[in-house]
Amino acid sequence: MTTQEQLLAHSGTSMPQVTDDMVQKAAELGEKYAGQVVAALENRAATGSVDIGQPTVGPYVAFDLLATTPIQFGGPPPYQPSRILAGGEPALILAFLFVNSTVDVPHGFAVPPTKQLSNRTYRVSMEQINLTAVSNGPDAHIQDVFGAPAATLTVLPFWFTAPQPGPDPILFEANFTADIVGASQPYAAFASTIVDFDSFKVLENVPVRYLVYAE
């Protein structure tokens, strides 16, 4: 997990009560799935597939963002991954912010992005849509400063409390975006690759969707 100070702002919901055990579990999940994230990125490079992150020059992806499906933190551990969440209980989605550290002169990166983005401020947002009511939110944002050089992979925990539904479950869609704040750098991305905690698969070109029910 990132060790830098983070600003987490919520719209439409409040931060859940996050216990030390939940923080520890989130850190373990981030470390566990970092390997899958790196493997997915390496697979793209090997196959030459073009990604969403910008800038992208040929097979070289300079900046990218991936996310996970939710994990529910209600009740005692062990906590369970699920895209079916109980309303009113805390949940977590992890976002993985990637900055390429390799030099690639033929594609215009004599200075790798990790150096270009040293000490730059980044902002990662979770933009949600209530698909059942066709309404915006709840949203959340994490803003922080890269080190020097910028980390190749930054794991960002998005904690939220699923709202209490009425008699019918609520279907949500969560999209994740990233960009550099106040800098004349062409770096931006949104998460089109999802690590599915339920199936332990890497899914391409899909948003995060989950259902909230009244327990």
For the stretch 60-75, pLDDT in tens is: 778 889 899 998 876 6
In a 3-state reduction of DSSP, which class is residue 13?
coil
Say which residue, 47 or 182, is predicted with more confidence: 182
DSSP labels for 22-91? HHHHHHHHHHHHHHHHHHHHHHHHHHT---SSBSEETTEE-EEEEEE--EE--SSSSPEE-SEEETTSEE
Report yes or no on 56 lying in a domain: yes
pLDDT grade, residue 3 (50/70/90)? very low
- Tally the domains of the chain: 1
Report yes or no on 197 lying in a domain: yes
Q: What is the CATH number of the domain that holds 39?
A: 2.60.40.10
Structure-block tokens of residue 117: 């983005």
Q: Is 90 exceeded by the pLDDT of residue 123?
A: yes
Report yes or no on 1 lying in a domain: no
Report yes or no on 82 lying in a domain: yes
Using an 8 Å Cβ cutoff, are 88 and 117 in contact? no
Report yes or no on 119 lying in a domain: yes
Report yes or no on 186 lying in a domain: yes
> Please, which residues bridge with residue 97 across strands?
65, 154
The one-letter amino acid at 18:
V
**Residues spanned by the domain of 35:** 7-213
Q: Is 17 exposed, middle or buried (0-12, 13-18, 19+ CB in 10 A)?
A: exposed
Between the CA of residue 6 and those of 43, 121, 161, 167, 191, what are the distances in Å?
31, 11, 19, 36, 20
| pLDDT tens sequence across 23-41 | 888 888 888 888 777 777 6
For 205, phi and psi rounded to 5 degrees? 60, 45
Q: For the whole prediction, is pTM greater than 0.85?
A: no
In a 3-state reduction of DSSP, which class is residue 20?
helix
Report yes or no on 2 lying in a domain: no
| pLDDT tens sequence across 72-88 | 876 666 666 678 888 88
Report yes or no on 189 lying in a domain: yes
Q: Is 73 exposed, middle or buried (0-12, 13-18, 19+ CB in 10 A)?
A: buried
